[in-house]
Structure 1
Amino acid sequence: MPAPRSGGANHAQEVYLEYQRRSRTPQTPPGDEPSRFAGAGADAHTKLGRSVDDLRPALETLATRLYEAPEIGFAEHGSVRELAAVLIQHGVEPEVGAYGLETALRAQVGTGNGPHFAILAEYDALPGIGHACGHNLIAGIAVGAFLGAAPIVRELGATLSLIGTPAEENGGGKEHILRAGGFDEIHAAAMVHPAAGAKASPIWGERTTGVRRIAVTYRGRAAHAAGEPWLGINALDAVVSAYQSVAQLRQHILPIDRVHGIITDGGAAPNVVPEQASALFYVRSGEIDTLRVLMDRVVDVLRGAALATGTTAEIEVDPVPPYLPLEPSVELMRRWAGALGERGRETPPSPAVAAQAGPSTDMGNVTQFIPAIHPSIGIGGPETVHPHHAAFADQTVQPSAFAAMTDAAAGLGAVAIDYLADGALRAAVDAEFAARGGRYRWES
Structure 2
Amino acid sequence: MGTDLKISTRSSLERYSDALLDLSHSIHAEPELAFEEHRSAEKITSLLAREGFKVDSGVADLDTAFVASYGDGELVLGLCAEYDALPEVGHACGHNVIAAASVGAALALRDVADQLGVTVRVIGTPAEEVGGGKVLMLERGVFDDVSFSMMVHPAPYESCAARSLAITDLKVHYTGKRSHAAAAPHLGVNAGDAVTVAQVAIGLLRQHLEPGQMVSGIVTHGGTVPNVIPARASAMFDVRAENLESLQRLENRIRDCFRAGALATGCTHEVEQVSPVYAELTPDPWLADAYRRAATELGRRPLPPELEQREKIGSTDMGNVTRVLPAIHPTIAIDCGDAVNHQQEFATACASASADRALLDGALAMAWTTIATATDSQQRARLLARGGAA
State the TM bucket, normalised to the shorter chain: over 0.9
SS state at 1:94 partner: strand
Q: Counterpart of 2:243?
A: 287
CA apart distance, 1:429 = 6.5
Q: Counterpart of 2:9?
A: 48
Q: Counterpart of 1:25?
A: none
CA displacement, residues 112-145 of structure 1 (integer Å, 9 cap, x when unaligned): x522111111111111111111111111100000
Q: Counterpart of 1:331?
A: 286
CA displacement, residues 56-100 of structure 1 (integer Å, 9 cap, x when unaligned): 111011011111111111111111111012112322232221221
CA apart distance, 1:109 = 1.4
Mapping of residues 216-235 of structure 1, within 5 Å: 216-235=172-191
CA apart distance, 1:146 = 0.5
Mapping of residues 244-323 of structure 1, within 5 Å: 244-316=200-272, 318-323=273-278
Q: 348-357 vs 206-215, which deviates more?
A: 348-357
Mapping of residues 37-436 of structure 1, within 5 Å: 41-111=2-72, 113-196=73-156, 199-201=157-159, 203=160, 205-316=161-272, 318-351=273-306, 359-382=314-337, 384-427=338-381
Q: Distance in 2 between matches of 1:349 and 1:356?
A: 11
- Give percent identity, aligned residues only: 39
Q: Counterpart of 1:12?
A: none
CA displacement, residues 368-392 of structure 1 (integer Å, 9 cap, x when unaligned): 111100001112241x112211112
Q: Distance in 1 between matches of 2:98 and 2:292?
A: 18
Q: Distance in 1 between matches of 2:326 and 2:192?
A: 46
Per the alignment, do residues 261 and 381 of structure 1 end up closer, same or farther by CA in structure 2, a change over 3 Å counting? closer
SS state at 2:68 partner: strand
Q: Distance in 2 between matches of 1:421 and 1:103?
A: 34
Structure 1: 5+ residue runs without aligned partners? 1-39, 440-444
Per the alignment, do residues 241 and 176 of structure 1 end up closer, same or farther by CA in structure 2, a change over 3 Å counting? same
Q: Distance in 2 between matches of 1:311 and 1:79?
A: 43
Q: 361-370 vs 344-353, which deviates more?
A: 344-353
Alignment-mate amino acid for residue 405 of structure 1: L
CA displacement, residues 164-212 of structure 1 (integer Å, 9 cap, x when unaligned): 111111111101111111111112100000112xx421x4x11100110
Divergent runs of 4+, >4 A: 352-358, 427-431
Q: Distance in 1 between matches of 2:70 and 2:276?
A: 30
Q: Distance in 2 between matches of 1:200 and 1:418?
A: 20
Contact preservation (8 Å) 2:2, 2:371: no
TM-score, length basis structure 1? 0.83
Q: Distance in 2 between matches of 1:105 and 1:413?
A: 21
Structure 2: 5+ residue runs without aligned partners? none
Q: Distance in 2 between matches of 1:385 and 1:425?
A: 38
Equivalenced residues, count: 388
Per the alignment, do residues 428 and 347 of structure 1 end up closer, same or farther by CA in structure 2, a change over 3 Å counting? farther
Q: Distance in 2 between matches of 1:381 and 1:174?
A: 28
Contact preservation (8 Å) 2:101, 2:359: yes
Q: Distance in 1 between matches of 2:62 and 2:36?
A: 10
Per the alignment, do residues 349 and 77 of structure 1 end up closer, same or farther by CA in structure 2, a change over 3 Å counting? same
TM-score, length basis structure 2? 0.95
Q: Distance in 2 between matches of 1:357 and 1:126?
A: 20
